[in-house]
Every structure is written in structure tokens, then in C-alpha cells.
Amino acid sequence: DPTDTGAETIVAVATAPGRGGVGIVRLSGKHALAIGQAITSNTLPARHARFCQFVDSAGQPIDSGIAIYFPAPNSFTGEDVIELQGHGGPVILDLIVRACTDRGARQARPGEFSERAFLNDKLDLAQAEAIADLINSTTEQAALNANRSLQGAFSREITALVDLVTRLRVYVEAAIDFPEEEIDFIQDGQVSEQLLAIIDQLDRVQAQARQGALLQEGMKLVIAGRPNAGKSSLLNALSGQDSAIVTAIEGTTRDVLREHIQIDGMPLHIVDTAGLRDSADEVEKEGIRRAWTEMESADHILLVVDGSDPAHNDDDPRIIWPEIHDHLTRDIAISVVHNKCDLSGRDPNISDHGGTPVIELSAKTGAGMDLLKSHLKQCMGYTEGEESSFSARRRHLLSLEKAANALAAGRAQLENAGAGELLAEDLRECQNALGEITGAVSSDQLLGEIFSSFCIGK
């Protein structure tokens, strides 16, 4: 029986490591109740808080607290669950866990409680991921969105899409199976009409998921440019902290510096890199190599120049930095920052130079920083205070993209060839891609990857 996950009873501390007023140990599985009753020397009625002494396997008292029994299937994991709420110290909690393992439970792996909840159909995969995202949220908006996903807002959108795709596929396949009815797929406006409606709906879900993933995971912004252009000053101006070392000596930021900031609720990972220039210094060379690596994985690059230096204040990234397009193998959005406008005497401004945005600002005085911030929000597609959103992950965006591609291919089949079989195949592919999101279609490897990144006890 694949859903008999509870044969082994698992145990873990469910509260955060460290000290706190209360610490919770959670047991799940067939023997949870027996173990819980042995530790508390009590019969534990369902869903009642009972104050008891906790004893180890030798009968020695180790702590006192509250025990609660959640019988299967109405528990988080869908199995019998016992919660032991003791005092929140790491040593005490370890003793309580040991009292459980001594009685036959085993230590839970990271995410194993959530994995069991998924395997027992208490949650789908997107909801299980939302638990981890809720816990890891770094902004209020991200937390609220993760909670909506956990409540099923994202999954419902996906399920609705899957239903529509399935209905259309059944219709198309029925038509293929009964050729005597001679349905002409092109003439039959119903098929293309439904297909277009699905494409439209998927498009809307994709836009929301993109916003959700942006809020959850944040985009990566890499600040690059020659030494002394003002990269570190710009990082400080964006983050509002003096975390990067700003000096007048060229080449001080030899390694990369990272900051996690928010612009009006939009999370952003900023990386300040070593100044890019030819150097014989080995340490500096290494810093420059790392700068390229960081840029390669960026969502956006700010190429900073000293706007007051006539030798280096160009607009075109290829002139500022001829190697840039040889080095970058991906197509990454680049904006040019003309820093030190207080020295160059130019007004803060943003303009377009042959497709490259160029921003005049001063990291030192702060002039033009608001232009840069709203530019970044716009580039990343962030809509402030966007309602009815949900959290999503990059994994989900990839699956949605696969689903959209399959629909586009199906549409082309229909329009060019009126081909029913191929359309049905594309619809099946779309269904599978959507199924990856909720876990209707999943592999052990995918599940392993997802749940192993959870914390222990979740």
C-alpha cells in the first residue's frame, strides 16, 4: 500500500533550534500514540491538551508539559500524531526526542512530515512547497502569498486549467476514435475557441505566478563596473547601510559582497563585485573571475560608470566594456548607471540609448536613486501591493512555460494541419506539465529534491 507511510513512526523537534519558552516535539506514525502514552504515563484522549510529566525509557522524569493526540486521518500528516510541548531548551528537547527513539521512533528526515502529508493527500505538492516558503518568507507580502498558496489558491488555478485541458482532450480524442462522425477540427469552432480560452487563462496564471515567484525568491541584481566608478557606494545607497567598504583607493572590493534588500516590498539580492579591469594582481584577478560568474546568474546587471570621468562615461555597454557580450552566454538585461552626477553637473534622469536604459544619479547625494528604484521595479515586473496573488517557485514557472509551449504547439497543429492526433498529444503534454506543479505527476527524485530542502521537524 503506497499510502501506508506511517509504518515507521518518526519524531523531530518542531520548533526552531535554540532556547525559547516552549519547545515542541512531534511524533507521527502507527506507534505515535503508544509512545506518547508511555512517555506521559497517561491515556491521551483525541484533541485534548493534557498536562503531564514526561519520563524517559528508564522511568526517570525529564520534563513536564502538554501532550496532545491528533488521531489519523485528521492530523497534519494524515497519520496518528502526538505533540509533546515541553520547555524550550535544546538539551531538554533532545532528551524528549531520545525518550521517543528509545521507544521505537526514528528521527525524521528534513521535510518528512510534509512529505507524508503530501503522500497521504492532505496537501498537494504546491501546497507543501508553500509551507516551506511561508516559513522562509522575508517580506510580509511574500508570507501572505505563501499562505494563500498553502490554502490552495495556486493549486485551484492549476486544477481548473487541468480540468479544461482534460475536457478538450477527451472531446478531441472522441472525435479521433469515431472518424465516421467526420469532425473537421478547423471548421469545428468549438475546439479552437476552447483552446484559445485555455491559452488565455494559462497566460493569466503565468503572470500571477511570476509575480509570486519574484516576491518569494527575489531577483538577483549584480553591480559591475570599473574600480572607483562607485559600485559599493551604489550598493550602500540601495541598501541604506554602510556594509560595503567604500574607499578612494582603486580595487578595494576584491571579493563579492551580498545584500538582501527590499524596494517597496520587492525583495532583491544585490551583489557588489570587484572592479573589472585588466590586472596583474592574482587576488584581484580572482575577484574579477568571480564577478563574471555572478553576472552570469544575474537577472539584471547594473553597469556603473563614473559619469564625471569623460574617458569612461559612455552609454553603450559594448563600449564601456567590450568583452561583456563575449563573457555573458545568457541574454541578461543591462542598465547603465552614470554615477556622480553631482560632479558631472548633470540632472538626475533616465533615458533610452538604443534599447539600453541609462540613468544619471549620484550614489553619494542620493539624487536620482528614486529613478533607479522605480526602474528596477518596472524591469522585474513588480506591481506594488498586487492583490489576489499567491506564492510560486521557479520550478512552477518552468512547468507553466512547458504547458504554454505545448498549447502553442497544439494551436499551430490545429491551424496549419487540422491535426487532431497531434493536438491531443500536445494537450496531454500540457496536462503533464501542469501535473508537475501539484504533484499529480512527480518522480521520487523531484520529491527528494523538494522535501530535503525543508527544515527538520516540518
- For binding to ligand GDP (CB under 6 A), which residues are involved? 225, 227-233, 246-248, 253, 275, 339-340, 342-343, 362-364
The reply on whether position 232 binds Zn ion by CB under 5 A is yes
Choose from Zn ion, ligand GDP, none: what does 409 bind? Cβ within 5-8 Å by kind. none
**Is 231 annotated as belonging to a binding site?**
yes
Residues 212-231 that bind Zn ion (CB under 5 A): 231
Which single residue is written with the C-alpha cell 482534460?
A: 166
Say what the alpha-carbon torsion angle 14, 19, 22, 26 is, to the nearest 10 degrees: 20
Residues 237-276 that bind Zn ion (CB under 5 A): 253
Smallest gap from Cβ 120 to ligand GDP, in A, equals: 53
- Residue 177 or 242: the one with the smaller Cβ distance to ligand GDP is 242
Smallest gap from Cβ 408 to Zn ion, in A, equals: 45
Closest CA to 399 of 425, 429, 437: 437
Which single residue is written with the C-alpha cell 491521551?
A: 44
The partner residues of 333 in beta bridges, in order of sequence, read 300
| Whether 357 contacts 376, CB under 8 Å | no
One-character DSSP codes across 263-288: ETTEEEEEEE-PPPS----HHHHHHH
Instruction: Give the CB-side neighbour count of residue 350, counting CA atoms within 13 A.
Output: 15
Choose from Zn ion, ligand GDP, none: what does 373 bind? Cβ within 5-8 Å by kind. none
- Residue 111 or 225: the one with the smaller Cβ distance to ligand GDP is 225
3-state DSSP assignment of residue 150: helix
Tell me the residue type at 424: A
Smallest gap from Cβ 349 to ligand GDP, in A, equals: 14
Verify cis geometry, omega within 30 degrees of 0, for the bond prior to 73.
Answer: yes
- Residue 155 or 232: the one with the smaller Cβ distance to ligand GDP is 232
Length of the chain: 458
Choose from ligand GDP, Zn ion, none: what does 363 bind? Cβ within 5-8 Å by kind. ligand GDP
Q: Pull the grid cell for residue 212.
A: 509570486
Choose from Zn ion, ligand GDP, none: what does 343 bind? Cβ within 5-8 Å by kind. ligand GDP
Residues 102-161 that bind Zn ion (CB under 5 A): none
**Is 220 annotated as belonging to a binding site?**
no
Binding site for Zn ion (CB under 5 A): 231-232, 253
Where is the binding site, in residues?
Answer: 26, 83, 122, 228-233, 247-253, 272-275, 458
